[in-house]
Each structure stands twice: as C-alpha cells, then as structure tokens.
C-alpha cells in the first residue's frame, strides 16, 4: 500500500503536521510520498492507494496553492480512493466557528472538495492547533497527530 501526503505551509506548522503523519504511517509499514504542494509536478492516481492533503487555514479557508492543486485532482482517476484532510489553525478560529455556526476550517473545505470528486473520507478532519497566527503548534498536537495517523492506518488496513 502506498499513499501521498501533500501540504502547503506558511510558518512551518502544517509542514510539521504533514511530516508527522507521513512518519507515523511509515512506522506502521505504509509507504508514503511526502510533497510540498508547489513541488508536485504530476499527480498520477495509479501510483497511489490513498491521499492526505493539508493546508494552513487562512481567512477561514484553504491556501490559494491548495485550492489550485485541487483542480489537478481528477474525479475519474481518484474516485473511491480513501483520503483524510488536515489543517493548522488557531484555537480562536475553532471557537469562532462554534459560536457563529460557520465553518472556518481549511481541512473541512478540502474534505468537501475531495468528496465532490467521489473520494472516500476515512476519518473526520484533523485540526492541528497553533498558538496565534504563526505558531508554534500547541503542546500535545504532535502526539494527537500521531494518534490520528495511526487511526487512519488502521482504517486503511480494514
């Protein structure tokens, strides 16, 4: 089994989250390619069994680079393949979303786009919390990310 983890990052927090997911999947015996979104030259669904995509949350949505990248994900090629989505955001965004009953998560919007492409979401999105706008990640988020990746691996192996 082989997958691809693609991420965008502004201050390194989303990169750290992506690296943690990829490393954890490798630790449980799953082959993974890890790419910064701007380094993905060609995306061939035949090369991968699953997809992980992450973005920092900017102004309540995904980064421009991730939005553009999603246009390269062809429904007919990726249909029914499993995926998870993640983002980094500050705790204030999470609270604001609850109060306003409006989604401010890049990951949630990524998941919606991938489901529109008929992909199979295996877990709810991961929202890795950062301190302020630039981070670092809130204490405990790396461990929470590792657990998320282990849960994803277990779902992939079902």
Quick: pLDDT tens for 11-36.
Answer: 999 999 999 999 999 999 999 999 99
Q: Give the closest residue to 7 by CA, choosing from 143, 145, 151, 119.
A: 145
pLDDT for res 60: 85
- Sequence-distant (6+) residues with CB within 8 A of 14 are 7, 8, 54, 55, 56, 86, 87, 88, 128
DSSP 21: H
* Cα 51 from Cα 49, distance rounded (Å): 7
Q: What is the CATH number of the domain that holds 83?
A: 3.40.50.360
* Angle at CA of residue 72, ends 50 and 15, nearest 5°: 60
**Residue 110 lies in domain:** 2-157
Number of domains in the chain: 1
* Cα 28 from Cα 39, distance rounded (Å): 26
Q: Is 87 helix (H, G, I), strand (E, B) or coil?
A: strand
* Cα 134 from Cα 88, distance rounded (Å): 10
* Cα 144 from Cα 140, distance rounded (Å): 6
Strands, E, within the chain: which ranges? Answer: 2-7, 31-36, 50-56, 82-89, 120-121, 126-129
| pTM of the shown model | 0.96
Per-residue pLDDT of the chain (158 residues; tens, 9 = 90+): 999 999 999 999 999 999 999 999 999 999 999 999 999 988 999 999 999 999 999 888 999 999 999 999 999 999 999 999 999 998 887 777 788 887 779 999 999 999 999 999 999 999 999 998 899 999 999 999 999 999 999 999 99
Residues, the chain, total? 158
Q: Give the closest residue to 4 by CA, choosing from 74, 88, 62, 81.
A: 81
* Cα 158 from Cα 141, distance rounded (Å): 26
């Amino acid at each position: 089994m082989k997958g691809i983890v693609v991420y965008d990052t502004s201050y390194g927090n989303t990169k750290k989250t992506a690296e943690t997911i990829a490393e954890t999947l490798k630790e449980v015996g799953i082959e993974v390619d890890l790419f910064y979104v701007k380094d993905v030259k060609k995306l061939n669904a035949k090369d991968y069994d699953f997809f992980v995509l992450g973005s920092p949350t900017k102004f309540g949505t995904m980064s421009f680079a991730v939005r553009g990248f999603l246009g390269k994900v062809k429904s007919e090629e990726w249909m029914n393949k499993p995926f998870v989505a993640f983002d980094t955001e500050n705790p204030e965004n999470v609270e604001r979303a609850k109060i306003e009953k409006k989604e401010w998560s890049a990951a949630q919007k990524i998941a919606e786009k991938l489901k529109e492409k008929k992909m199979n979401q295996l877990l709810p999105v991961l929202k890795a919390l950062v301190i302020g706008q630039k981070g670092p990640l809130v204490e405990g988020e790396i461990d929470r990310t590792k657990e998320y990746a282990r849960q994803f691996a277990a779902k992939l192996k079902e």
